[in-house]
Amino acid sequence: MTPAARQAAVELMTTEHRLSKVRACKIAGLSRSVLYRPVVDRRVLDAAVIDALNAIVLQRPRWGFWKCFDRMRADGHAWNHKRVHRVYCDMGLNLPRRTKRRILTRPFQPLDQAQGLNHIWALDFMRDTLYDGRPFRTLNVMDEGNREALRIEVGTSISSVRLTRVLNELVTVYGTPQAIRLDNGPEMTADAFTDWAKARGIELRFIQPGKPNQNAFIERFNKSFRDEVLNANLFNSLSEAQAAADDWIVDYNHYRCHDALGRVPPAQFLPRAFQPEVSTSELFT
């Protein structure tokens, strides 16, 4: 509470509730010397500083505080930076300027059918929380050729370096894809990941911002994973979430019938020469 507000509280208690000034000051936590001190109008004392700032900002609205202060010093004003900054903030000049958000421009990505295994992979991130409220993320990777789940990586933080490591492991097991369909998250647009894909000749098909339907296969996969695993269980640790994801991948690939595949599991619709019976996260542990 500011001194001015405390003074107003003391005045209210003395006039409305008939309390003495001594008792009212003790209740409000205000010194009696401050109570009797005359109220000073800061706008009158700082009128010169306000006029000087207005003159600068009127001509140069994009200048920050230190540019304005240096200009005022160059003009011969001797006010210190603390006083000028207080007036600068009181005038609301320290508020962030609203600028137009830069939106990435990406070409339209048609949702064409993959022409076999390792033609197009799709990946996306999901978010959920443990039972105690700690958040965690999952990295979901699938092959659009047979809608097979390749990996669900669970972690509190999945950086571009970890994303690259996971895809390296998948390439070791399943081979190199021709292209990867993904959105414009910071992990996917980082140099560590884009350089990795370029070195291996993998085309990165970034969808347009705000158009998740251009990555519809992984979005539909995410819905199944959330309904059958994340929303159906309470996890106390990341290891529990990872174990549940690994078990679900095996069930999804080998036993869960897929309507778009003629009501057969992905592993049966288009089998691989090597078909691991466990999740790839277990292969590399």
Tell me: do 141 and 225 sit in the same domain: yes
Any domain includes 232: yes
Any domain includes 186: yes
Tell me: do 21 and 74 sit in the same domain: no
| Predicted pLDDT at 284 | 66
Any domain includes 103: no
CA dihedral 142, 148, 151, 152 (to 10 degrees): 80
| Predicted pLDDT at 7 | 83
Any domain includes 67: yes
How many CB atoms are closer than 10 A to CB 116? 12
Tell me: do 184 and 168 sit in the same domain: yes
Tell me: do 26 and 80 sit in the same domain: no
Report how many domains make up the chain.
3
- Give the CATH number, domain containing residue 227: 3.30.420.10
| Predicted pLDDT at 140 | 97
List the one residue out of 76, 79, 75 whose CA is nearest residue 87. 79
Q: What does DSSP assign to residue 193?
A: H
Local confidence pLDDT in tens for the 285 residues of the chain: 777 788 888 888 888 888 898 888 888 888 888 777 776 777 888 999 999 999 999 998 888 899 999 999 999 999 999 999 999 998 988 877 666 666 667 878 877 777 789 999 999 999 999 999 999 999 999 999 899 999 999 999 999 999 999 999 999 999 999 999 999 999 999 999 999 999 999 999 999 988 999 999 999 999 999 999 999 999 999 999 999 999 999 999 999 998 888 899 998 888 887 666 666 766 666
Residue ranges making up the domain that contains 72: 40-96
Tell me: do 135 and 200 sit in the same domain: yes
Tell me: do 23 and 76 sit in the same domain: no
Tell me: do 149 and 274 sit in the same domain: yes
pTM above threshold 0.85: no
State the alpha helices, DSSP H only, in the chain. Answer: 3-15, 21-28, 32-36, 42-45, 47-59, 65-74, 81-90, 160-174, 186-189, 191-199, 216-225, 238-254, 266-269, 280-283
Any domain includes 104: no
Q: Is the dihedral angle over the CA atoms 53, 56, 60, 64 positive or is it negative?
A: negative
| Predicted pLDDT at 271 | 87
| Predicted pLDDT at 15 | 87
- Token look-up 């003395």 returns 14
| Predicted pLDDT at 45 | 86
Tell me: do 212 and 79 sit in the same domain: no
Tell me: do 62 and 201 sit in the same domain: no
| Predicted pLDDT at 33 | 81
Any domain includes 112: no
Any domain includes 102: no
Q: Are residues 188 and 173 in contact, defined by beta-carbon separation less than 8 angstroms?
A: no
Q: Are residues 182 and 215 in contact, defined by beta-carbon separation less than 8 angstroms?
A: yes
Any domain includes 171: yes
Question: Of 64, 96, 128, at which residue does a domain stop?
Answer: 96
Tell me: do 126 and 83 sit in the same domain: no
Tell me: do 130 and 268 sit in the same domain: yes
Q: What is the pLDDT of residues 240-275, one digit of tens each?
A: 999 999 999 999 999 999 888 889 999 888 888 766
Tell me: do 33 and 44 sit in the same domain: no
